[in-house]
Amino acid sequence: MNRTEFVTVTTIILFGVFVLGWFASWLIGRLTRPSPADLADLARQLHDTERERDKAIVLLKEREARLAAAQEELDAAMEGLRESRTEIEELRDYIERKLARR
Protein backbone atom coordinates (compact mmCIF):
# COMPACT_ATOMS: atom_id res chain seq x y z
CA MET A 1 0.00 0.00 0.00
CA ASN A 2 1.55 3.24 -1.08
CA ARG A 3 1.06 6.67 0.39
CA THR A 4 -1.80 7.74 -1.91
CA GLU A 5 -3.82 4.59 -1.20
CA PHE A 6 -3.26 5.04 2.54
CA VAL A 7 -4.49 8.66 2.45
CA THR A 8 -7.49 7.68 0.33
CA VAL A 9 -8.48 4.79 2.64
CA THR A 10 -7.99 6.97 5.73
CA THR A 11 -10.11 9.74 4.17
CA ILE A 12 -12.89 7.31 3.32
CA ILE A 13 -12.83 5.83 6.83
CA LEU A 14 -12.91 9.27 8.47
CA PHE A 15 -15.72 10.37 6.18
CA GLY A 16 -17.66 7.19 7.02
CA VAL A 17 -17.19 7.83 10.76
CA PHE A 18 -18.34 11.43 10.26
CA VAL A 19 -21.47 10.27 8.42
CA LEU A 20 -22.24 7.66 11.10
CA GLY A 21 -21.80 10.29 13.85
CA TRP A 22 -24.03 12.74 12.04
CA PHE A 23 -26.68 10.07 11.51
CA ALA A 24 -26.52 9.02 15.17
CA SER A 25 -26.87 12.64 16.25
CA TRP A 26 -29.83 13.16 13.93
CA LEU A 27 -31.48 9.94 15.15
CA ILE A 28 -31.04 10.81 18.84
CA GLY A 29 -32.38 14.32 18.21
CA ARG A 30 -35.35 12.91 16.37
CA LEU A 31 -36.16 10.37 19.08
CA THR A 32 -35.77 12.77 22.00
CA ARG A 33 -37.55 15.77 20.44
CA PRO A 34 -40.72 16.56 22.38
CA SER A 35 -44.00 16.19 20.54
CA PRO A 36 -46.25 19.20 19.92
CA ALA A 37 -48.66 17.88 22.54
CA ASP A 38 -45.83 17.80 25.09
CA LEU A 39 -44.85 21.35 24.16
CA ALA A 40 -48.45 22.52 24.55
CA ASP A 41 -48.64 20.84 27.96
CA LEU A 42 -45.37 22.45 29.04
CA ALA A 43 -46.61 25.85 27.85
CA ARG A 44 -49.84 25.42 29.82
CA GLN A 45 -47.90 24.44 32.93
CA LEU A 46 -45.66 27.46 32.50
CA HIS A 47 -48.63 29.81 32.22
CA ASP A 48 -50.26 28.23 35.28
CA THR A 49 -47.04 28.59 37.24
CA GLU A 50 -46.68 32.23 36.21
CA ARG A 51 -50.27 32.91 37.28
CA GLU A 52 -49.60 31.29 40.67
CA ARG A 53 -46.42 33.33 41.03
CA ASP A 54 -48.33 36.54 40.31
CA LYS A 55 -50.94 35.61 42.93
CA ALA A 56 -48.20 34.87 45.45
CA ILE A 57 -46.59 38.25 44.77
CA VAL A 58 -49.93 40.01 45.33
CA LEU A 59 -50.47 38.09 48.59
CA LEU A 60 -46.96 38.94 49.72
CA LYS A 61 -47.52 42.64 49.08
CA GLU A 62 -50.82 42.54 50.98
CA ARG A 63 -49.17 40.82 53.94
CA GLU A 64 -46.31 43.30 53.90
CA ALA A 65 -48.83 46.16 53.95
CA ARG A 66 -50.68 44.55 56.88
CA LEU A 67 -47.40 43.98 58.67
CA ALA A 68 -46.39 47.62 58.17
CA ALA A 69 -49.76 48.78 59.53
CA ALA A 70 -49.42 46.47 62.53
CA GLN A 71 -45.90 47.76 63.14
CA GLU A 72 -47.18 51.34 63.08
CA GLU A 73 -49.91 50.43 65.57
CA LEU A 74 -47.36 48.71 67.79
CA ASP A 75 -45.07 51.73 67.67
CA ALA A 76 -47.97 54.02 68.59
CA ALA A 77 -49.00 51.74 71.46
CA MET A 78 -45.43 51.56 72.75
CA GLU A 79 -45.15 55.36 72.63
CA GLY A 80 -48.43 55.67 74.54
CA LEU A 81 -47.16 53.17 77.09
CA ARG A 82 -43.95 55.16 77.55
CA GLU A 83 -45.93 58.34 78.05
CA SER A 84 -48.20 56.58 80.57
CA ARG A 85 -45.23 55.26 82.52
CA THR A 86 -43.69 58.73 82.62
CA GLU A 87 -46.97 60.21 83.82
CA ILE A 88 -47.32 57.48 86.49
CA GLU A 89 -43.82 58.19 87.75
CA GLU A 90 -44.59 61.92 87.91
CA LEU A 91 -47.81 61.23 89.82
CA ARG A 92 -46.00 58.91 92.26
CA ASP A 93 -43.37 61.57 92.89
CA TYR A 94 -46.09 64.16 93.40
CA ILE A 95 -47.96 61.91 95.87
CA GLU A 96 -44.78 61.08 97.76
CA ARG A 97 -43.93 64.81 98.07
CA LYS A 98 -47.44 65.59 99.32
CA LEU A 99 -47.27 62.77 101.88
CA ALA A 100 -43.80 63.81 102.99
CA ARG A 101 -45.05 67.38 103.75
CA ARG A 102 -47.66 66.18 106.23
Span 71-99, pLDDT tens digits? 999 999 999 999 999 999 999 999 999 88
Separation of CA 11 from chain center: 53
**Distances 79 to 46, 60, 86 between C-alpha atoms, Å:** 49, 28, 11
pLDDT of amino acid 96: 92
Span 28-65, pLDDT tens digits? 998 888 888 889 999 999 999 999 999 999 999 999 99
pLDDT of amino acid 51: 98
pLDDT of amino acid 100: 87
What share of the chain in percent tops pLDDT 70?
Answer: 100
Q: What's the mean per-residue pLDDT of the chain?
A: 95
As a whole number of angstroms, the distance between CA 94 and CA 96 comes to 5
Stretch 16-21: mean pLDDT, rounded? 97
In the chain, what is the greatest distance between 2 CA atoms, to the nearest angstrom? 134
**Predicted structure pTM score:** 0.55
